[in-house]
Amino acid sequence: MEKIKANATKVDFQKIFPFLGLAAVLIFFGIFSGGRLFTAQNMKAILNDGLYIIVGASGYAFLFAMGILDFSIGANMAVSCAVACLAAKVNPWLALPAALLTGMLISGILGLVHVKAHVDAFITTLAGQFILNGLVLIVLDNSVQQAPLEMLKWFTLPLKLMILIGCLGAGYMMLEHGVYGKTGKLIGSCPEAARQTGINVGRYKLTAFVIMGALVGLLGFVSLIRTGTASSKTGSTLMMNVLNAALLGGLPMSGGPTTKFRGVIVGSLTMAFLTSGMTIMGYNVNTQQIVKGLIFLIAISISFDRKNMKVIK
Amino acid sequence: MEQEKLLLKVEDMYKSFGITKALKGVSLSLRRGQILGLIGENGSGKSTLTSIVAAIQKADAGKIYLEGELCEFQNSVEANEKGVCMILQEKGTFDALTVAKNIFVGKESMFCKGGVLNNRAMNEAAQKALNAVGADYIKAAAPLASLNFEDRKLVEVARAMYLNPKILIIDETTTALSRNGRDILYQIMKRMKGEGRSVIFISHDIDELMEVCDTLTILRDGVYIDTLEKEQFDAALVRRLMVGREVSEDYYRSDTQSCKNEEVVLRMEHVTAKELKDVSFELHRGEILGFGGLADCGMHILGSVAYGNMEPDLGKVTAGDGTPIRSPKEAMNRRIAYISKNRDQESLMVASSIRDNICSASYAKLAKGPFIWEKAQNEFVDKWAGVLEVKMQGPGQYVMELSGGNKQKVALAKWLGFGADIFILDCPTRGIDIGVKSNIYALMQELRSQNKSIILISEELPEVIGMSDRTIILKDGRISGEFVREQNLTETMLIDYMV
C-alpha cells in the first residue's frame, strides 16, 4: 500500500514531467542560442526534424501501449529509402508505394517472428536491426544512391503539414478513442487477462508492427525527397529520437492504460527542439548522440514503470 | 502472574495508507501457549496489524512489547531473530531455486566452507526441517517450481518453523491448502501451544477458527471490536461482530430442488489435460453444476479447458449446438464467461481502470464504427457496477486499489454486461469477506432463475454442496462421484470420494 501511495505521487509527476522537460529545453536553448532558436529559419529546421520524430512516435505509441519495444525502425527506414530510390530510378512515381510496402513487409516479418515464434520483441527487433544494417548495404551496392533530381521539388510545406496533421489526428483518435488503441492498452495492461477476454493478442500486436512499418516506409520516402539520396546512414538517428520522445513524453515502458497521445506530442516537440537547439549551438552529430544517449538513460531511470509496482490487496 | 503469561502486547497501533486509515488505535495481547484467531472483513486491518508485528511494515504510532520489553524491530530479519515469524497470504517463495535453498534463503553461509556451498548438507538440513513439520513427502533437492501451490506453502511453513519462533503468524494460508495441508498446520499449532509458544492465526473461515483457536479477536474497519474466549464462541455472534449487523445464518440456497431441465448447453467429452484424465460431463440450462475436490485434483484445469483457454491433449469441449470451443474467443461467441482462480493475473487488468475492465468484454457492443466514446462507456459502467454495487470512487479508479470482494464484483460486472449465458466460476469467493460472499451467492441464484447455467469450482465443500444442483467430485484428475442435490447431502459423505 505504501508503494501505491508512492506511485500515486509518481503518476502525478508523470503527468507534469513531460511539460517540464519541454519547458526546460525551450528555456535552455532559447537563452543560450540568444533567441536564435525561434527564428523563422530555425522553425523550418525544427519542422523538418520534428516531422520524422512525430510520425515515428505516432506509430511507436501503439507498440508502446502493448509493452513492445522496436529497435529496428531506423534500419528499416534506411532499407525502405534505399528500395524507394531504386524504384524511383525506374519511375519516380513508384518510390512511395515501394517505400511503404518495404517498410510494412519488414516490420510484418519481425512482428510475425515475435508473435508466432514467441521470441521477445526486444530481441527480435534488435536482431532485425543487425540484419537490416547489412541488407541496406547490399541494396545500395555499398555506395550512396542518387534519386532523380525532380523529386526534390516534391518536398513542400503543404505536404509536410499534411503528413504531420494526418499522423497526429489519426494517431490521437485511434489511441485515445479508437477500439484499436483501447484494446492495445488492455493488452499492455495484462496480456493474459486480455486473451481470456477473447482478444486476439497476436493479431493486435502484428497490426501494430505493420502500422509502424508503413509509417517508417513513409519516412524513408520523405527522407528520399528531402535529401535526394539514399545511404546506409539514412534514419540512423530515428530510433533514438523516437524512443527518447516516447520516454520524455512520459509513456510507460510496460505499456497499458497510462499510455497517452499527448505524451507523444510533447515528447516529440521536446526532441525536435533539442536536436535543432544543439545544431544551432554548433554541436556535431557525434556529440548530439552522446547527449541523447544520456537523456535516454535519465528518462528511463525516472520513467514510470508498472513492473516495479507491487500489487497489494 | 498475569504479566508473566503475557508474551506479546500491542498498544494503540495506528497506520494509514494515504487517506485510508487501516488501523485506528488497535490493541492486542497474546499469552504464552495461546492460539489467537484474528478475524474481520477485507480491509479490517488484520494483515496490516500482523505485518507490523512481524516488522514487514512500520506503524505510524503504537507500541509493541515482546515478553514485557518494548521492541522496535528495524526489519523482518530482526523480528525473525527475536522469534516472530509470519507466513504470508501471498506467495513468498522463489520458483527458480530448490526447496532447500528456499528454506535457507539468506542463511546460505551456514553451509559454506571456504566460499563453497555444501549442497548436500543444506539438503539434509532442509529435509529435516520438512520432516519436522510433517511434510516429509516433499523432497528438499527438488526445484520449487515442480511443487504445487499447496506444497510451496508448506515449504514456507517449514522455513518459518526452522527458526523455532516464539510467535508464529499465519495469514490466510489455509485457503490455499487442502485437508492434508491444513492438518499439518493444525498439528504444528497444537505442538507450539504445548511448548508454551503462541500462534496468531488469520482466516476467513469462522468454523475453522472456532475449531482451532483458544481466543478470537474481531476487527472491523481498523478498529478493535471484541475478544471472545473459547466458551463464548458462536458463529452468528462472530459474524455479527464482524459485519456490525445481523447476517443471516444460511446464505446458501435454501431449496432442495435440483434442476430438471435436460437441455445441454455445454459438453465436455473424454478430456485429458495435465492432471485431468478422461473427464466427461454435461451442463444443463438453468443448472448450477459444482465441482469439488482437493486443490490438485484437476478441477481448476477443468474450468480453464471448458472455456477453451487451455487446449486439451485429448477429447473436446462443445457448446450445446455442437460447435467446438477451442479458444476464449469461441467460448465468448457461445456466450460463455470465465473467472479464473487467479483473478488478479488472468481475469482482471488490475493496472487498468474499473471502466476499462468492465467494458473490456463488450467493446463490439459499445463501439460506434472504429471508435468508443467515453459517454457510452460510463453509462455501461454505471449500469453494471450499480447492479453489483461495486464500491468505488469513480469509473476511472484503478482496479488494483480495490479490495478482493470489489475486484470480484468488477470481474462479474464485466461478464454480466457482456451478457453471458454460461458462467464458469473458479473459486469465486476465495479470500472474500462474508458480506460480498452472500452477494455472490444471491447473484448465482438470480442467474439460475434466469435460466443461465453456472459451473462452480470450489475448494470449499460446504459452498459446493450449498449452491449446486449437481455436485461432481474429482479425485486425481478423474470423476469419483456425482451427487444430485438433496436434503441430507453432507460434507463427510463427499470427503470419502475426494481422498
A5 CB neighbours in chain B (<8 A) are 17-18
Q: Is residue B274 part of a domain?
A: yes
Angle between helix A261-280 and helix A157-172 axes, rounded to 10 deg:
150
| CB of B375 less than 8 A from some CB of A | no
The SS3 call for residue A174 is: helix
Region B289-314 average pLDDT = 91
Q: Is residue B210 part of a domain?
A: yes
B471 DSSP β-pair partners: B290, B483
The last residue of one of the domains, among B211, B243, B275, is: B243
Band of pLDDT at residue B91, cut at 50, 70 and 90: low
Judge: A182–B372 Cβ closer than 8 Å, yes or no. Answer: yes
pLDDT in tens, B224-270: 999 999 888 888 888 888 877 665 556 788 887 888 888 999 999 99
DSSP 8-state symbol, B145:
G
Backbone angles phi, psi at B72, to 5 degrees: -130, 85
Residue ranges of chain A with per-residue pLDDT less than 50 = 1-3, 306-313
The last residue of one of the domains, among B243, B274, B289, is: B243
For the cut 70, the answer to whether the pLDDT of residue B447 exceeds it is yes
- B51-55, B93-97, B185-189: least confidently modelled range: B93-97
- Considering the domain architecture, whether residues B292 and B399 belong to the same structural domain is answered as yes
Q: A291 to chain B, minimum CA–CA distance in Å?
A: 33
Task: Write down the domain spans for chain A.
Answer: 2-308
- Considering the domain architecture, whether residues B280 and B395 belong to the same structural domain is answered as yes
A192 CB neighbours in chain B (<8 A) are 345-346
Half-sphere exposure of B130 (CA within 13 A, CB side): 25
DSSP 8-state symbol, A303:
S
- Considering the domain architecture, whether residues B23 and B159 belong to the same structural domain is answered as yes
The last residue of one of the domains, among B243, B273, B308, is: B243
pTM score, whole prediction:
0.77
CATH number at residue B379: 3.40.50.300
pLDDT of B41 reads 75
Between B19 and B313, the higher pLDDT residue? B313
- Considering the domain architecture, whether residues B176 and B317 belong to the same structural domain is answered as no
Q: B16 to chain A, minimum CA–CA distance in Å?
A: 9
- Would you put residue B434 in left (φ > 0), alpha (ψ -120 to 50) or beta? alpha
Residue of A nearest to B396 (CA): A257
ipTM of the complex: 0.87
Judge: A182–B356 Cβ closer than 8 Å, yes or no. Answer: yes
pLDDT in tens, B333-380: 999 999 999 998 899 999 999 999 999 999 999 999 999 999 999 999
- Considering the domain architecture, whether residues B80 and B131 belong to the same structural domain is answered as yes
For the cut 50, the answer to whether the pLDDT of residue B95 exceeds it is yes
pLDDT of B387 reads 92
**Average pLDDT over chain B, rounded to an integer:** 87
Q: Take residue A32 and report the three cell numbers written for it.
A: 543560450
Q: Is residue B254 part of a domain?
A: no
Pairing status of strand B453-457 against strand B288-292: parallel
- Considering the domain architecture, whether residues B289 and B164 belong to the same structural domain is answered as no
Q: Which domain holds residue B332?
A: 264-498
Judge: B372–A195 Cβ closer than 8 Å, yes or no. Answer: no
| CB of A191 less than 8 A from some CB of B | no
Q: Are B306 and B281 in contact (CB under 8 A)?
A: no
Q: B403 to chain A, minimum CA–CA distance in Å?
A: 6
Amino acid of residue A76: N
Q: Is residue B250 part of a domain?
A: no
Pairing status of strand B264-273 against strand B314-319: antiparallel
Question: How far, CA to CA in Å, does B440 sit from each of B251, B364, B409, B443, B485?
Answer: 10, 27, 8, 5, 20
- Considering the domain architecture, whether residues B274 and B209 belong to the same structural domain is answered as no
pLDDT in tens, A180-193: 999 999 999 999 99
- Considering the domain architecture, whether residues B346 and B209 belong to the same structural domain is answered as no
A259 CB neighbours in chain B (<8 A) are none
Q: Which of A196, A306, A312 is the best residue to mutate to test the B interface, defined by the most B CB atoms within 10 Å of its own CB?
A: A196
Q: Which CATH number fits domain A2-308: 1.10.238, 1.10.260, 1.10.3470, 3.90.550?
A: 1.10.3470
Q: Is residue B440 part of a domain?
A: yes
Show the beta-strand stretches assigned E in chain A: 145-146, 229-230
Q: Are B490 and B321 in contact (CB under 8 A)?
A: no
Q: Which of A179, A193, A309 minimises the CB distance to B347?
A: A193
Instruction: Report the 10 Å Cβ neighbour count for B450.
Output: 9
Whole-angstrom Cα distance, residue B263 to residue B296?
Answer: 31
Q: Are B324 and B318 in contact (CB under 8 A)?
A: yes
Nearest to B84 by CA among B97, B99, B73, B98: B73
Judge: A198–B328 Cβ closer than 8 Å, yes or no. Answer: yes
The SS3 call for residue B452 is: coil
- A59-63, B295-299, B469-473: least confidently modelled range: B295-299
- Considering the domain architecture, whether residues B360 and B324 belong to the same structural domain is answered as yes
Backbone angles phi, psi at B272, to 5 degrees: -120, 125
B50 CB neighbours in chain A (<8 A) are none
- Considering the domain architecture, whether residues B228 and B318 belong to the same structural domain is answered as no
Query: What is the number of domains present in chain B?
Result: 2
Q: Take residue B6 and report the three cell numbers written for it.
A: 503475557
Judge: A179–B372 Cβ closer than 8 Å, yes or no. Answer: yes
- Considering the domain architecture, whether residues B236 and B269 belong to the same structural domain is answered as no
Q: A305 to chain B, minimum CA–CA distance in Å?
A: 11
- Considering the domain architecture, whether residues B399 and B445 belong to the same structural domain is answered as yes
Judge: B363–A198 Cβ closer than 8 Å, yes or no. Answer: no
